[in-house]
Chain A
């Protein structure tokens, strides 16, 4: 019983420890610790709208978290999610805004746009896999460079060809009304028109399906084995290219899902710089959950609540600014991530004695 429990306990203890630590720092900045604690914890649940906004963050973070977790199983440190997200957001918004597919049926139109978006996300990620396989380049370097290229490319295409004529912001035109199918979905209405949409349900379902696939089938085991020992899996006749392509393709697919969440679920247009670095926050989400697909659900929620709380700290307190709330965020993330090591250390000591 203890053994089962032991695996779940550390992150929660770490979370508590981090929150307490945050509150202990705040008196140095003439703030009430209890007040700061209350803001950090309750900010996500203040109103239905706030909760909806948090769930929107959760949705994007689940997708980018998955996009990091799957390649890591194959031993790839995938930091290109931000670039893939930017590119596919641009593709989705531009295709939809110009009604690229001249089809009357809304359903067919939407599914074509979705399909092309997902494919473009996956292709953007596949570039990394191909470089890795054929050139032996390191995936981190390629991903960093691609992030830059994709953001420049999306910017150029949007501003030069699809700029919204009614706005001074660099953003694409709104997608036509008949394609805005998620603007009145039940989840959005329940949360008072906040940015959340049915994509949240899809994100949760994705996590559950991946969890079941991992538990009940052997499909993901090849990727896991490759990640554990590349040379052994090569000797066993696994196709390296196939494994890399599957892992990266899935990663790009999920990055594109995050883009669709923004374009079709929230703003109905591509706003340059919409993402507060979802792609990089996703790394923390996935590492916190130790790549466990169910764990990602919870760690995404934690990160989202923290992100929301950070912006509210600025509002609710006198002296804590936006930048300081990033420090508090970091304290919490470090203590959650460090909790595993602390627990391992103590349990080893106990075993020795």
Chain B
């Protein structure tokens, strides 16, 4: 009889223990689930590339600070691992998974079909699906503005363009830049060079410097780069030879003040932050989100480092041009459409 009592007591005890554990854990869970769980898959460049991936990482970190989300980021080891990283995030019930870079388009397409409950977002890749938000930028508008800036500042009538990897995305930059320069000065000569055809071209400052020096020897006095981490080579060459350079993606004016004329901002951080915010507020929409001059997704950088390089008249001219692009008065050729 005593034995039975003991067993019963034990059962009761274990039951109440389980109850307590359940309640406590559910309280902890509800507290910790104040923010959604966000997975960020960076490309092989990693979070310190001072350009594209860094920008995305900054946007996500801002969301951690302001929105209190739970963030986990990973850097891909090889192209086969991209899919399994996305899949792992989805299996761990992350609410939103963001892929950075066009190389992840295939992985997002495959994994998003398997996990219809999870939200996906991809920067620069064009993937359609009921749970995917694609974040695309109107790079041609921004680089049109850069072309205009270069033509305004050029004394020799020759400006240069250095592209990273020779892909349609960078051709789009190039076409916009050329059109912008011709808009200001129809007789201007635009020199175009690409660093390479592989991903390695994003990280080759030495070759960027060689190309910049070659362009300078052909009398180019303003050079724009769209080459990620390779751009530092251009800044070195421009500072040596006392010509102007234009930065890209993030604000690079601080790298060589006085040499960097301005930077074309591609606000990946804004796009990432917006997406996280909309998912947090349960307003996530599967759509093709375009970021352009209109909503400052693409812009030109003005700060203390390049203030002295611009006169008030030139600034108004730039801002007027910006307004007329937004209002559609000036049309910018788009490589994706006119290819």
| A195 interfacial by beta-carbon distance below 8 Å | yes
Q: How far is the CA of A227 from the CA of B325 in the complex (A)?
A: 72
Nearest residue, chain A, Cβ from B171: A168
Chain B: minimal CB distance from A44 (Å): 11
Whether the pair A312, B88 counts as a contact (CB closer than 8 A) is yes
Q: A155-B197, A168-B167, A315-B72 are in contact. Are A271 and B84 (CB under 8 A)?
A: no
Within 8 A of A (CB), among B138-176: 165-169
| A315 cross-chain contacts in B, Cβ below 8 A | 72, 74, 85, 88-89
Chain A, residue nearest B82 (CB): A311
- Min distance, Cβ B44 to any Cβ of chain A, angstroms: 8
Establish whether residues A266 and B74, one from each chain, have CB atoms under 8 Å apart when the complex forms.
Answer: no
- A145 within 8 Å of B (CB atoms): no
- Would B72 and A168 count as touching, CB distance under 8 A? no
Q: Nearest chain A CB to B32's CB is how many angstroms away?
A: 15
* A159 CB–B CB distance under 8 Å: yes
Contact between A50 and B84, CB atoms less than 8 A apart: yes
**For the complex, what is the distance from the CA of A241 to the CA of B167, rounded to whole Å?**
46
> How distant is the Cα of A169 from the Cα of B74 in the complex, in angstroms?
21
Which residues on A sit within 8 Å (CB–CB) of B311? none
Q: Which of A164-181 contact B (CB under 8 A)?
A: 167-170
CA separation between A53 and B88, bound complex, in Å?
13
Q: Place the interface of chain A in its size category.
A: 20 to 34
A272 at the interface (CB under 8 A from B): yes
A28 to B197, CA, bound (A): 41
User: Do the beta carbons of A159 and B197 come within 8 Å of each other?
Assistant: yes
Interface residues of A in 93-132 (CB under 8 A from B): none
A53 touching B84 by the CB < 8 A rule?
Answer: yes
Q: Which residues of A contact B80 (CB under 8 A)?
A: 53, 56, 195, 266, 274, 276
A273 at the interface (CB under 8 A from B): yes
Chain A residue with the shortest CB-CB distance to B126: A168
Task: Give 1 or 0 for each of B71-113: 1 = CB within 8 Å of chain A CB.
Answer: 0101111111100110111010000000000110100000000
Determine the distance from Cα of A275 to Cα of B74 in the docked complex, in whole angstroms.
Answer: 19
- Minimal beta-carbon separation of B40 from chain A (angstroms): 11
State the CA gap A275–B199 with chains docked (Å): 14
Residues of A within 8 A of B46 (CB): 322
Q: Which residues of B contact A321 (CB under 8 A)?
A: 75
B168 touches A322 (CB 8 A): no
Question: How far apart are the CA atoms of A266 and B78 in the complex, in Å?
Answer: 14
Contact string against B for A residues 39-69, beta-carbon threshold 8 Å, 1 for contact and 0 otherwise: 0000000110110010010000000000000
> B217 contacts the other chain (Cβ, under 8 Å)?
no
Q: How far is the CB of B140 from chain A (nearest CB, A)?
A: 15
Chain B residues with CB below 8 A from A276, complex form? 77-78, 80
Partner of B74, one of A46, A155, A322: A322
CA distance A328 to B314 in the complex (A): 56
Which residues of the partner chain A approach B74 to less than 8 Å between Cβ atoms? 311, 314-315, 322
* Minimum C-beta distance from A61 to chain B (A): 13
For A53, list chain B residues within 8 Å (CB): 80, 84
Collect the chain B residues with CB atoms within 8 Å of residue A50's CB: 84, 88
Q: Does A310 reach chain B (CB closer than 8 Å)?
A: yes
In the complex, the answer to whether B198 meets A155 with C-beta atoms within 8 Å is yes
Q: A309-351 CB contact bits vs B (8 Å, 1 = yes)?
A: 0111011000001100000000000000000000000000000
Q: Is the CB of B87 within 8 A of A49?
A: yes
Contacts of A274 in B (CB 8 A): 78-80
Contact of A168 among B77, B79, B88, B102 (CB under 8 A): B102
B residues in contact with A314, CB < 8 Å: 74-75, 77
Given A168-B102, A169-B103, A321-B75, do A273 and B84 touch, yes or no (CB 8 Å)?
no
Q: Please, how many angstroms separate the alpha-carbon atoms of A314 and B77 in the complex?
A: 10
A49 and B199 alpha carbons, distance in the complex (Å): 28
- Separation of A245 and B168 alpha carbons in the complex (Å): 44
B72 — which chain A residues lie within 8 A by C-beta?
315
Q: A164: shortest Cβ distance to chain B, in Å?
A: 11
CA distance A144 to B76 in the complex (A): 26
Chain B residues in contact with chain A, CB under 8 A?
46, 72, 74-81, 84-85, 87-89, 91, 102-103, 105, 165-169, 197-199
- Subset of 22 A-B contacts with CB under 8 Å: A46-B88, A53-B80, A56-B80, A155-B197, A159-B166, A159-B197, A170-B167, A170-B197, A170-B199, A271-B79, A273-B78, A273-B79, A274-B78, A275-B78, A310-B77, A311-B76, A311-B84, A311-B85, A314-B74, A314-B75, A321-B75, A322-B77
Query: 9 new A-B pairs (CB below 8 Å) besides A170-B167, A314-B77?
Result: A46-B88, A53-B80, A168-B102, A168-B168, A170-B199, A271-B79, A311-B81, A315-B89, A321-B75
